[in-house]
């Protein structure tokens, strides 16, 4: 039980890292995307 929970946490952290890197590369490729995104709200 405990080891499976630990592996689940590692999976979540890896997923967040992958999402973060994708988002960073997307923002770097589209520098004005964030200003467009925030102007909608």
At 1-41, the pLDDT tens digits run: 678 999 999 999 999 999 999 888 887 787 676 666 666 65
Domain ranges of the chain: 2-39
* Rounded Cα–Cα distance for residues 41 and 38 (Å): 6
Task: Quote the pLDDT of residue 25.
Answer: 86
Alpha-carbon gap, residue 24 to 8, rounded angstroms = 24
Asked whether 26 and 33 are in contact (CB, 8 A), the reply is yes
Question: Per the confidence metrics, is the pTM higher than 0.85?
Answer: no
């Amino acid at each position: 039980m405990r080891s499976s929970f630990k592996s689940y946490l590692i999976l979540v952290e890896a997923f967040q890292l992958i999402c973060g890197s994708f988002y960073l590369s997307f923002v770097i490729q589209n520098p004005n995307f964030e200003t467009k995104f925030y102007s909608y709200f």
